[in-house]
Amino acid sequence: MTETSSPQPSENSENVVGNQEAAASSRPDVLLEQLLKPEVQESLTTLVDNLPKLTEMLAVMTKAYDFGKSVATDPVLAEDTMASLSGFAKPITTTAKSVASAAIEAGDRVHAQGDQAQIGVFGLMKMLKDPQVQKGLRYAQAFLDVLNERDQQNKR
């Protein structure tokens, strides 16, 4: 029978310790090489010179982080924020729904009339007396004036 040799526990642990010592001895050399570089020394000098400012900034950032975290995890504040946002958004959504509904209804009426309802000169004159048409025309005129003014400013 042949015997297989296996490393003894003492040999194995000596190899591991030797490897760790070699790695540890090379780390200070690499660190020392890094510290001897002029740009690293400049950076360290700048860092040390600015430590009071950095400490002050870190304190402010820590306070801001703590405040943000407390705000983000406060259920009462979250509920109040949602209530105020929904109170703000509700009139906007109501108006948008009303305008969309009116646009859909107007589109349906136009499709229902087809080419039968033509608007002549007298029909146009009658429409010009409508307050809603006047309001729309004033808005269109103001909008076009603004666009014209901006166009003139961009050309200068």
Query: Cα separation of 78 and 70, whole Å?
Result: 11
Tell me the helices (H) and strands (E) count for the chain, helix number first. Answer: 6, 0
Write the Ramachandran bin of 114: left for phi over 0, alpha for psi from -120 to 50, otherwise beta: left
Report residue 96 as tokens.
Answer: 């948008």
Query: Cα separation of 156 and 150, whole Å?
Result: 10
Query: 35 and 41 in contact (C-beta within 8 Å)?
Result: yes
126 φ/ψ angles, rounded to the nearest 5 degrees: -65, -40
Per-residue pLDDT reduced to its tens digit, 58-87: 999 999 999 988 888 888 888 888 888 888
Chain centre distance of CA 105: 38
Per-residue pLDDT reduced to its tens digit, 11-59: 454 555 455 555 555 677 888 888 889 999 999 999 999 999 999 999 9
Query: Cα separation of 154 and 156, whole Å?
Result: 5
Percent of the chain with pLDDT over 70: 83
pLDDT, residue 150, reads: 92
Instruction: Identify which of 104, 92, 130 has the alpha carbon closest to the alpha carbon of residue 138.
Output: 130
